[in-house]
Chains A and B, each alone.
Chain A
Amino acid sequence: MLLIKRVNKEGIKGIMRGKRKKAILTIVLILVTLVMIFPLLWVVILSFKTSAQIFSEPFILPKRFDLTNYIKVFKVMNLSILYKNTAIIGFFSVTLSIIITFMSSFSLSRMVFKHKKLKDYLYNYFLLGLTIPPMILLFPVYRLTVSMHLFGTYLSLILPYTAMNIAFNTLLFVGFFNDFPGEVEEAAIIDGCGLRRLCTTVVAPMAKPIISTVLIFNVLYIWNEYPFASVLISNTEKYTIPMGSAFFKGMFSMDYGGLIASSVIIMVPQLIFYGIFQRYIVGGMTAGAVKG
C-alpha cells in the first residue's frame, strides 16, 4: 500500500510544486502514521468490549465502554507485586551494569594499554555480545544459576540482565569517551587526582547525558524482557511484568478479554515512559547503530 503511494507521488512529482507538494507529502505521512499506530488503537478499543462481543461481533465498535475486563485484571493480576519485582530487579541490575561498564569503557578509551592490541581485542570481545542470540544462553544460564544455588532469587535475574547490557553499554560509553577529548581529565590528574576521585567527581558529571541514555535504555530492556524471566523464575510471587501477561492463560474463564486488558495495562505505562524520555530513547538506540 505504501509503495503504491510512493509511485503515485513520483509520477505526479514533475508537475506539482511547492505547497501542493507539501500537502500531499503531509497526507502521506499522516496515513503512514495512522496505519502504524492503528494496531495499538484497535487493542484499546477491543479492551472495552466484553469477551462475548469480541467473538460474536468482532468488527463492531463497543456500544458502551465496558470496564469488566479491566476490573477483572486488577482483581486477579497482582500488579503491585509484578511492578515491585521488576523494579527491584531493574534497579539493582541497571545500577550494577552502569557502574561496571562505565569503569571498563573508561579504561578502554582513556587508559594507556601496554599492548595496544589488547585494547582492541577487549573492545571487540565486548561488542560481540551484541549479536549473540539470547536463545542460546537460556539453558546454560539456567544451569549456571542452579549450580550457584541462586535459582528463584532476584539475583538469578539481576546478574544475567547486567551481563546482557554490557555490550550495548560499552558501545555507547566508549563512543562517548572517544568523542570527548580528555583535557579536563589530564588537568585534574596533573593536579594530583587519583583514579577514583577522577571518575566520580570529574568524569561522571561530564558523562551525564550518556549515562542517562544508557540508563533509560537498560530500564526499557529489563521492563520488556521475557525469555530469561520465564526460565529462571517459577514462583508466581517473583514474576516480572512481561510474565504477568503470559500468565493469563487459564487464570480465569474470561480469557480473551483479560488477555487484551492486561496487555493494555502493561502497554500504557511503557507509552508514558516513552513519552517522557523519548529524546533519550531515540537518541540512544540511534547512537547504538550509527556510532562506532
Chain B
Amino acid sequence: MRIKKLVAMLLVVSMVFMSAGCSNGGSDSTTEVEKNISESISTEGSEDEPVSFTFAAHFADLKESNAALYNIIDTFNRQHEGQIVVNYSGSADKSVHITAMKLAAESGSLPDVFFLPTTNAVEFYEAGYLYDMTDMIEQYGDLDEDTLNSLYESKDLQDNSIYGLPLTALVTGFWYNKDVFDRYGVAYPDEGTTFDELLTMIDTFKANGVTTIINGAKTNYSVWAFLLAFARYGFFEHDKAIAAGSDVWSNDDFIKYFEKIQQLQEAGAFAENNSVTDFFQAKELFLAGEAAMFDSGAWDSAVVSDALGEKAGFWWGPIFEDSNYNQQYLMQAPSVSVRVNAESVKEPEKLEAITEFMKFYMSPEADQIRVDNGTVPLTSVDVDASNVNAAFAKMLEALKIEGWISVPYQADANLSEVVQEALYDSMFGVICGIYTPEEALEIMDEVQTRALEE
C-alpha cells in the first residue's frame, strides 16, 4: 500500500519534471541571460580561462526591461570573447534588489558590479564596500571633458571622487496614448498645457470611464512624474534647508503642490483600484489601451513603442499658473548608481576586466547602443538618432524644447532611506485619497525630525 503511494508520488513528480523540461527544452528563455550571454561565447578550445565578473541590477528580464543595458553587455562580451565574460543577474524589482544587495554585502557575497541608488549607497560607502572609481575613470576612460565633469558634478557621495556611474540618464514623465485622446476628442498635452487644462481633460475621460493617469500604488516608488512636477513648486529651493533642519515639509509651496495632487484625485484622474495595482500591472493596462497616460520613463520606451508605435506621446506634466517658481523643468538627470565592489578589485585581473568594461560602458559606441534601444546617451558626444523607436523619438523631441532645463537630480535622490519611503507613501497617500495634503506633509515632517535626531 505504501509502496503504491510512493510510486504514485514519484510518477507525479517525474511528470512535472518532464513537462517542464519539454517546454523549456527548445525555447530560448530570455530570463536566463547568463546562459544566453555565455552561449554566445564558446570557451571550448580557448587557451586561457576568461576572466568573469558579475553585474547585478533590478531588471528580472533584462532584455525586456532594459534592452540598452542588455545589448551593451552582450556586445562587450562578444568583443572580448574568450577573454572577459560579464555575467548579469537580476532581481524582481528595485526594492527587492536593494534588500538583496544589503544582505549580500553583509554576507560577503556582494556582486562585482551592482546597481545601488545614492540613498542606499551612503551606508555602503561608510562601511567601506564601495570602490573609488576616480582613477579608473580618469586614467583609463576616454571621456570628453564635459562628460567627465558631469560625473563629478552629479554630487554622489564625495566631492572630487567618483563612486558610481550613471545607469541611465533618468528621463521621466508621462507616456500618453494618442488613440485614447483621439477617441474622446481631447487635444494632446504639450509643454504649454496648464493644470486647469489637465483637469478639463480628466473630466472628459472620467465621464467616459477611462483612467487618465495610471500608476500602481503597490509599487510605492513609481511616482516619477510627480517627483518631477515637484520642482515647479520650488522643491529644489527648499530641500537643502529641510535636510539641514531649518525648513519644513509643511511649507506653503509644498502644501499648494499636494493640493493640486488632491484635486487630481478628486477629479477622478486615477484608477479605482490603484492601491491594489502595482507598476507592472499599470504598465500592462496602459499598453492595452485602458488609460490615457502612464507615469514612467525612458526605460519603457521600447515596449511603449511596440504597443503604440506612432500613437505614443511623451509629456513633462502640466505647468502651474499659481506657482512662483520656474515651470520649465524637464527631467534628464543622471542617476548615479552603477558601483564597484571594493573587494573585487583586489584581484588585478578582475580590476583590469572591470576597467575595460567601464571604458566601453562610457564610450560613444555604448551610447549609440543606448540610443538605438531607446534610452538617452550618457556622454556629450553626438550620436546617430535616426534608428530610434517611435516612442523614444517623441522623448528626444521633448528633451529639446526651447528654454526647458533639467532638474539637478530627482527629488528623492538625496533623501535618506526612511525619508524617501515616507515621501513615496505621502504622495501615493494623496493620490489614493487616503491623506489630505496637510496630513501627508505632516507625516513627512515627523519622519524628517526623527531622521535629524539620529
A residues near B (Cβ < 8 Å) are 51-52, 55-56, 71, 74-76, 78-80, 83, 87, 142, 145-146, 149, 151-152, 208, 212, 231, 234-236, 246-247, 249-256, 269, 272-273, 276-277
Contact = CB atoms under 8 A, between A and B. Distances in A.
Interface residues of B, number: 46
Contacts of B89: 235-236
B14 to A, nearest CB: 10
Given A146-B107, A247-B60, A250-B280, A78 B12 contact: no
A80 B61 contact: no
B92 A249 contact: yes
Contacts of B21: 80
A151 B61 contact: no
Nearest to A234: B100
B288 A51 contact: yes
Given A51-B288, A250-B61, A255-B280, 11 more contacts: A79-B20, A83-B20, A146-B107, A149-B108, A236-B60, A236-B89, A247-B92, A250-B279, A250-B280, A269-B12, A273-B9
The main secondary structure of chain A at its interface with chain B is helix
Contacts of B5: 276-277
Interface stretch (B24-32, B260-268, B332-340): B24-32
B8 A151 contact: no
Interface string B162-196: 00000000000000000000000000000000000
B374 interface: no
Most interface-central of B12, B30, B284 (chain A CB within 10 A)? B284
B161 interface: no
Interface in B26-43: 27, 29-32
B65 interface: yes
Contacts of A78: 20, 24, 29, 31-32
B215 to A, nearest CB: 14
Contact of A253 (B23, B92, B287): B287
A75 B29 contact: yes
B83 interface: no
Contacts of A52: 288
A152 B104 CA distance: 9
Given A152-B107, A152-B109, A234-B91, A253 B284 contact: yes
Contacts of B92: 246-247, 249-251
A71 B27 CA distance: 11
B370 interface: no
Interface of B: 2, 5, 8-9, 12-13, 16-17, 19-21, 23-24, 27, 29-32, 59-61, 64-65, 89-93, 100, 103-104, 106-109, 278-281, 283-285, 287-288, 290, 303
A236 B287 CA distance: 28
Contacts of B61: 76, 250-252
Given A51-B288, A76-B29, A273-B9, A249 B93 contact: yes
Contacts of A212: 2
A152 B110 CA distance: 12
Contacts of B31: 76, 78, 236, 251
Contacts of B16: 79, 83, 269
B283 A79 contact: no
Most interface-central of A52, A87, A152, A234 (chain B CB within 10 A)? A234
A246 B60 CA distance: 12
A171 to B, nearest CB: 23
Nearest to B284: A255
Given A80-B20, A253-B64, A254-B284, A272 B12 contact: yes
Contact of A249 (B23, B280, B287): B280
A99 B51 CA distance: 44
A251 B20 contact: no
A231 B90 CA distance: 16
28 contacts: A51-B284, A52-B288, A55-B290, A71-B23, A74-B23, A75-B24, A75-B27, A76-B30, A78-B24, A83-B17, A146-B103, A152-B107, A152-B109, A234-B91, A235-B89, A236-B31, A236-B60, A247-B60, A249-B280, A250-B65, A250-B280, A251-B92, A252-B61, A256-B281, A269-B12, A273-B12, A276-B5, A276-B12
A80 B284 contact: no
Contact of B60 (A149, A151, A251): A251
Contacts of B285: 55
A158 B117 CA distance: 33
B277 to A, nearest CB: 10
Given A246-B92, A253-B64, A151 B103 contact: yes
Contact of A256 (B8, B19, B108, B284): B284
B303 to A, nearest CB: 6
A289 B65 CA distance: 48
Contacts of B283: 253, 255
Contacts of A236: 31, 60, 89-90
Contacts of A51: 284, 288
Contacts of A231: 103
B5 to A, nearest CB: 6
A87 B92 CA distance: 23
A120 B268 CA distance: 64
A149 B108 CA distance: 8
Contacts of A75: 23-24, 27, 29
Contacts of B9: 273, 276-277
Nearest to B273: A55
Contacts of A146: 103, 106-107
Contacts of B90: 236
A69 B104 CA distance: 34
B309 to A, nearest CB: 15
Contacts of A83: 13, 16-17, 20
A42 B61 CA distance: 29
Nearest to A230: B96
B114 to A, nearest CB: 12
Contacts of B279: 250
A277 B13 CA distance: 14
Contacts of B106: 146
Contacts of A273: 9, 12
Contacts of B280: 249-250, 253, 255
B116 to A, nearest CB: 14
B29 A250 contact: no
Contacts of B107: 145-146, 149, 151-152
A222 B85 CA distance: 36
B84 to A, nearest CB: 22
